[in-house]
Structure 1
């Protein structure tokens, strides 16, 4: 299936994981700098949230219209373009450190993420070959690499600001450029899976059967992440803790990696149900930490929320989607799943930013927390009811297969 002169799959797998990490590393690289850009441009929290949402404004069209692109042109070209877009976006904010340039940079990052959101999962699964657990392993490694990348960029910038607060732009932005360039060139060393030039350029994402509820779950989870990245930095900056925005972003994203092994051992629906408890709980603690300027509470809440946002909910849902469709549909099915995720990553952020400008940050966070609790509770009851109905049906039709019924109920 792959060209023989390329790297063998066992070496290509870690290389692809590093490349996906670097694509997502750039996304939140400037998160701790958002208040600085806003102050330089004379804008408030609402404008910051809008610039942040430019990421999704470019990502969603990519998911909608380019979900099947990698099936036609191959997996490597979209990956190389994504890395170069990350480089271009970072250079844009280095050249013009303003909120407008940040919006343009985040549009570059959104297009980059949209190009690899579905194809990266499909590519990783293909590299695992004919193994029975290829879909699960592929989804798990992609989830680990991307969740670590989304948070680490902000963390590195935050550390640079703490170590050298007067050095702007921080070294982290300059250091990313050569890494992204080398990674883009290294795409040529990856195996080249078969292309299908007869497929149309534009194909819609697909929804894997029975996974709409899992999509709504990741929507709620990533809404919490979006508010932390897009709105919380301005609240921290108002109290003189702007550099801590990088830690907040890292904790709410990348610490979820610690919980992914536990999520892999759980049935997907059970993992998602656990996430529906942890997301509102964690965000409530985090919001109290923001309002009362308590950094330990903020970071503890971020870890609790992240255990679901990039642990149980993210991995459970992605693994279920990856396994629910034929190999030919994996890229488009993953794109469909991420459409839910990034809707949650955008609309609540802009709404919360507007509420913060109009009524104050405590009111905005309180309203979002209430909405998150109500949505999570309603979805948990829906999933529980569907699982019970499925278990009842399985027991009635196959009474001798109790273990299978128990797995379905889980």
Structure 2
């Protein structure tokens, strides 16, 4: 059924450009919105007031990451910035990239960034100093993930059996690379996709990596060996977003569907339809699969029955990102707004899957869920034009993707 006005709690329209990304702090107290207007905003989830306006970037903000006390944003101005959440002041500007920075990731005390300049970089988040550059891709880096060798099984064989932290990068050159963070050495190049890597997700306990591509497939890889273990083929369009829950993998596509796969067998066990455009973002939460689409609607599906439980209508353009917290749904769109929906009526106590069992990739590739930031908007209709986006679209044209 359609969401009624009673489920819509708030509409926030402070941004003056489309909102590309939404991040939730680990403690759940704050949200971060990243916008085409060149700013980011911090919001308190209790009371939902804007508590800080983060200004300083010279172009649109592509992505962000929240810790409990600091925020990170990256931009088409080629920089990453670190912000004090208490004051809204900029603490560091990380310079070195030579093109649009698509994604940031914080892990093991380091800050990582990926860019259209074909590199990923590692930074000291406290000093702002660049620690490592990962160079080897032939095209832009869209997705990032991180894992530690000690989190894998004891017979882990990367880098001659040495331990350490590893960065995973997905690129528009159709490859994925695994890098040893300590020295920047590329341990594996994963080949097989015939299109750009748009999203990525890790299942470290299962020592598995899942990648979604413009070639319409999801591929599964063994993290220890770099070998491809399975190809999931059933979609008729590019794979935009991934979610992994209790041995089930969910994939959202430009073919207007989400598919649920049994990872062990590679079988597609359910297809969630009813979207009228690309599935741009998804998140599993307490037995419900929430999706956002290019048709400007969010949807809630019961993962046990597959039934569409609710359609959330109100946005005017593509929903770029969503978060669910304390039974409230937050959606952000290229219509410049964030909307907050009450979803308490969707839940039953006996639903079997545990929301804490999710593993996310391209971390936010939370991996978001690896979301594709601007790539997911290219080729989609209904994208409003802002002065910021028009001015900078020329810069990324070499890597522009038309998503099928």
Shared fold (TM-score greater than 0.5)?
no
Greater strand proportion? 2
Greater helix proportion? 1
**Larger RCO, structures 1/2 (Cα 8 Å, 6+ apart):** 1
Larger radius of gyration: 1
TM-score normalised by structure 2 residue count: 0.25
